[in-house]
């Protein structure tokens, strides 16, 4: 193939025209974002809502001057803590009346970084019009257009990955100071957006390591590393005690080992639709034998960029194409380098037309099945004017809630794309409704929930609705116990043809038992087992369908593998419902009850022994073996976790003004190496709030706490 060798004048002219082309493409993207923002009315979905809520957390922490919370922001349940850069930018969206839509303009900024970076990388290898063709082919791909119109951090990761490789290539193997330092800054920017950023830079680390052997390159490489670490390492060090375990937990979602069920080929199939079949097929073929016009000696870096990213994310059990996209940018450069210019520009034109179609949905998606993989043409996700009633439902619940409850739990029997707990929770935060909390279905359906919200019809995608169809069946069965405790309060039609039904606990209920007290030698409800229990009931308040006061005594309580002895407590605003009642409403089966409400739990006394605490910890923490545990002023433990020796000394503390129960780590070691106690201070998991939360929507009062004589006791 004849290569065009440009003169300095034609090269400069082509460069200017190429940059102008990038600008025109970004102007088109701005128009498409504007169209989406003005048209779409759907709420953000699962992870999108979580990111929007984290940005709101930062906004409120900064506004209130809570800089400690700003630095150690509590992660969302089941999620690892996210680095702060993306969410700090995203908080600017809250200056708009519609922050979910305003957030997309932040994405446009990242698209600008990406387009410029891809163009500059392509220009280094192809100093002609094909550099622009490569830029358009990748940036206009359906997967990138999808990230442009959703509130996720992944487009930022794609952009910073490309920018970091641009700086790395420009550094000429860390022989130039300015590009080397730029690589350090851009690497830090990526790491401060997402912890997985490093996975796309594995070949870059090889270049860096090799540069340490050269006298001319060593100090530039070390300076770049030092600058990057200085920028991003403090945040990671502050969260190191919590981050690894949460990351392993998150990566295991939908886990299928790569050697089973063809999981190793998942991304090869998914990337077809996300890249577009033409870029997917011609790009991968081109990567095998690219014909770069110059700097061919650096071509291996682009191939390694794709290869290492693909292998890494194939091994990670949680596979989503957005995780791989930052590693696929070189395919567009390889496409433009290998195939004739007419082919490259034809692919670029199809991709740009596809980007416009993605926003308007005129054609497709169309799937053509082949022996290799299904080819998906014209993927699209146009905006839609759909009212999912999220705000209306939350406002209705807030208006009808029992104001005497400190917190109103709502059990959500649904997990659909726009009808899920994270979406409701973000909307509740945005609307400033402080009392309502959405929670998922548990084994006891809706215990301690004043309301239940059912999506009647499609509950959600098959992979994320475990247990929900069974719960919906109970709710819809008119003969089930549910309808003796709950009544229908409202319903709403939803855009997908289904409906949402809101159920509320029945009010003005009569007391479930006529006796003043109950005694049982053995009682079991869910995960709790109680021995030698006595309940004394006070006055029944029919307006809240609960006893104003009650008292509980039990010789032993086993709850979630923890044995607690000598329990005595007072209960305020307490009531339950039986699953089986006779015609008079008297309780028949005490073991089959559901706790309906509890306003305040006043613990008077209880104790936990060394042996019971040891058994509990070993059952709750996988891989933990405790050889020695002593409770005497402090808690001292020695043993092994995942086969590695550890020691730990901590003291539980009751912070009465803050209403928190904390575990303060005094010393710790891992494999014989002492750990700084500062690692454990910001971990909010080492503390327990005594104020209402979705798990315990009632106040907890403790008169004191002591650790002595082999027991942890209250008071």
What average pLDDT score do residues 425-439 get?
A: 92
pLDDT score for 261? 60
Highest mean pLDDT among 265-269, 423-427, 478-482, 692-696: 423-427
Q: For 340-440, where are the alpha helices, taking DSSP H only? A: 341-360, 390-400, 421-431
- Structure confidence at residue 584 (pLDDT): 41
CATH number of 390-505: 3.40.190
- Residue 259's pLDDT is what? 61
202, pLDDT greater than 90: yes
pLDDT band at 578 (very low <50, low <70, confident <90, very high): confident
Q: Is residue 276 very low, low, confident or very high in pLDDT (cuts 50, 70, 90)?
A: very high
The helix/strand/coil state of 75 is coil
CA-to-CA separations, 578 to 13, 449, 470, 472, 599, in angstroms, rounded: 81, 15, 20, 19, 19
pLDDT of residue 543: 87
153: confidence class by pLDDT, cuts 50, 70, 90 = very high
pLDDT band at 428 (very low <50, low <70, confident <90, very high): very high
Number of H helices, E strands in the chain: 23, 23
DSSP assignment of 435-465: SEEEE--BTTBSTT-SEEEEEES--S-GGG-
**The model's pTM:** 0.88
Parallel/antiparallel/unpaired status of strands 600-609 and 634-641: unpaired
pLDDT at 338 (0 to 100): 94
Residue 130, pLDDT score: 95
Closest CA to 142 of 304, 336, 382: 382
Inter-CA distances, 506 with 126, 451, 597, Å? 72, 10, 12
The whole-number pLDDT of residue 6 equals 57
Query: What kind and span of H or E run contains 699?
Result: strand 699-701
* Number of C-beta neighbours around residue 603 at 10 A: 18
Q: Which pLDDT value is given to residue 24?
A: 98
Q: What is the mean pLDDT of residues 107-115?
A: 98
Tell me the mean pLDDT in the region 388-397: 96
* Mean pLDDT computed over 458-474: 89
Q: Are strands 593-597 and 600-609 parallel, antiparallel or unpaired?
A: unpaired
Q: Which is nearest to 541 in space by CA: 597, 580, 586?
A: 597
Of 37-41, 263-267, 438-442, 548-552, least confident by mean pLDDT is 263-267
Query: Average pLDDT of the chain?
Result: 89
The residue with greater pLDDT, 2 or 482, is 482
Q: What is the pLDDT of residues 370-386, one digit of tens each?
A: 776 778 888 999 999 99
Model confidence at 587: pLDDT above 50: no
Residue 290 pLDDT > 90, yes or no?
no
pLDDT > 80? residue 254: no
Question: Within 13 A of 598's CA, how many CA atoms are on the CB side?
Answer: 25
Please answer whether residues 445 and 471 qualify as being in contact, where contact means their C-beta atoms are separated by less than 8 angstroms.
yes
Q: What is the pLDDT of residue 585?
A: 43
> b/e for 442-470, b at 16 or more Cβ within 10 A?
beebbbbbbbbbbbbeebbeeeebeebee
The tens digit of pLDDT for each residue in 332-358 reads 999 999 999 999 999 999 999 999 999
Evaluate if residue 262 carries a pLDDT over 80: no
| pLDDT exceeds cutoff 80 at 469 | yes
Domain borders along the chain are 9-377, 390-505, 517-598, 610-714
Q: How confident is the model at residue 670 (pLDDT cuts 50, 70, 90)?
A: confident
> For residues 137 and 335, what is the distance between their CA atoms, to the nearest angstrom?
9
Supply the pLDDT for residue 85.
95
CA separation, residue 307 to residues 131, 268, 311, 330 (Å): 22, 12, 6, 10
Q: What does the pLDDT average to over 610-620?
A: 90
Residue 249's pLDDT is what?
A: 62
Average pLDDT over residues 685-714: 88
- Work out the number of other CB atoms within 10 angstroms of the CB of residue 522: 10
Q: Is the pLDDT of residue 527 over 60?
A: yes
Q: Report the range out of 183-192, 631-640, 673-682 with the highest average pLDDT.
A: 183-192
Q: Is the CB of residue 555 less than 8 Å from the CB of residue 531?
A: yes
What dihedral angle (degrees, nearest 10) is formed by the CA atoms of 241, 247, 249, 255? Answer: -160
């Amino acid at each position: 193939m004849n290569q065009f060798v440009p003169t300095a004048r034609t090269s400069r002219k082509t460069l200017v025209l190429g940059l102008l082309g990038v600008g025109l493409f970004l102007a088109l993207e701005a128009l498409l974002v504007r169209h989406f923002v003005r048209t779409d009315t759907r709420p953000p979905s699962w992870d999108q809502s979580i990111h929007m809520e984290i940005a709101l957390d930062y906004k409120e922490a900064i506004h209130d001057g809570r800089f400690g919370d700003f630095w150690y922001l509590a992660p969302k349940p089941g999620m690892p803590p996210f680095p702060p850069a993306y969410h700090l930018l995203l908080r600017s969206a809250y200056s708009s009346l519609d922050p979910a839509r305003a957030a997309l303009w932040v994405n446009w900024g990242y698209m600008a970084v990406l387009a410029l970076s891809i163009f500059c990388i392509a220009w280094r290898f192809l100093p002609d019009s094909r550099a622009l063709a490569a830029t358009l082919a990748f940036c206009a791909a359906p997967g990138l257009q999808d990230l442009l119109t959703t509130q996720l951090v992944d487009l930022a990761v794609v952009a910073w990955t490309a920018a970091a490789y641009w700086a790395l290539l420009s550094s000429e193997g860390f022989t130039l100071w300015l590009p080397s330092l730029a690589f350090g800054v851009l690497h830090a920017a990526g790491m401060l957006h997402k912890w997985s950023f490093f996975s796309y830079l594995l070949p870059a680390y090889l270049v860096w390591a090799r540069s340490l052997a050269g006298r001319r390159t060593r100090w530039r490489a070390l300076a770049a590393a030092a600058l990057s670490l200085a920028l991003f390492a403090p945040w990671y060090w502050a969260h190191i005690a919590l981050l690894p375990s949460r990351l392993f937990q998150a990566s295991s979602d939908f886990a299928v080992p790569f050697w089973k069920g063809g999981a190793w080929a998942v991304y090869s199939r998914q990337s077809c639709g996300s890249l577009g079949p033409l870029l997917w097929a011609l790009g991968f073929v081109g990567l095998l034998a690219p014909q770069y016009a110059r700097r061919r000696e650096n071509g291996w870096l682009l191939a390694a960029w794709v290869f290492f990213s693909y292998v890494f994310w194939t091994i990670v059990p949680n596979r989503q194409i957005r995780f791989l996209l930052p590693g696929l940018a070189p395919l567009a450069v390889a496409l433009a380098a290998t195939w004739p210019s007419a082919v490259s520009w034809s692919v670029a034109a199809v991709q740009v037309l596809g980007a416009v179609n993605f926003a308007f949905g005129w054609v497709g998606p169309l799937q053509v099945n082949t022996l290799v993989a299904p080819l998906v043409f014209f993927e699209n996700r146009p905006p839609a004017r759909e009212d999912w009633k999220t705000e209306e439902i939350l406002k209705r619940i807030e208006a009808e809630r029992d104001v005497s409850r400190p917190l109103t739990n709502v059990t959500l029997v649904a997990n659909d794309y726009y009808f899920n707990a994270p979406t409701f929770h973000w909307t509740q935060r945005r609307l400033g409704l402080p009392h309502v909390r959405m929670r998922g279905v548990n084994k006891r359906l809706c215990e301690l929930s004043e309301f239940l919200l059912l999506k009647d019809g499609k509950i959600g995608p098959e992979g994320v609705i475990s247990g929900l169809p069974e719960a919906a069946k109970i709710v819809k069965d008119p003969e089930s116990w549910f309808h003796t405790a709950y009544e229908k309060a409202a319903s709403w039609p939803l855009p997908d043809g289904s409906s949402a039904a809101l159920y509320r606990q029945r009010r003005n209920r009569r007391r479930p038992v006529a006796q003043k007290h109950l005694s049982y030698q053995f009682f079991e409800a869910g995960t709790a087992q109680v021995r030698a229990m006595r309940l004394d009931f006070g006055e029944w308040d029919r307006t809240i369908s609960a006893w104003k006061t009650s008292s509980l005594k039990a010789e032993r309580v086993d709850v979630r593998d923890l044995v607690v002895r000598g329990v005595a407590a007072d209960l305020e605003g307490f009531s339950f419902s039986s699953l089986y009642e006779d015609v008079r409403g008297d309780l028949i089966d005490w073991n089959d009850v559901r706790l309906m409400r509890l306003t305040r739990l006043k613990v008077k006394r209880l104790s936990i022994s060394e042996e019971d605490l040891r058994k509990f910890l070993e059952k709750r923490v996988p891989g933990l073996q405790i050889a020695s545990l002593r409770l005497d002023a402090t808690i001292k433990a020695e043993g092994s976790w995942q086969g590695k020796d550890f020691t730990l000394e901590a003291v539980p503390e009751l912070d009465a003004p803050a209403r928190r129960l904390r575990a303060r780590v005094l010393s710790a070691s891992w494999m014989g190496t002492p750990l700084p106690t500062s690692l454990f201070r910001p971990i909010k998991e080492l503390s327990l709030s005594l104020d209402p939360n979705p798990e315990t929507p009632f106040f907890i009062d403790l008169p004191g706490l002591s650790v002595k004589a082999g027991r942890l006791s209250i008071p």
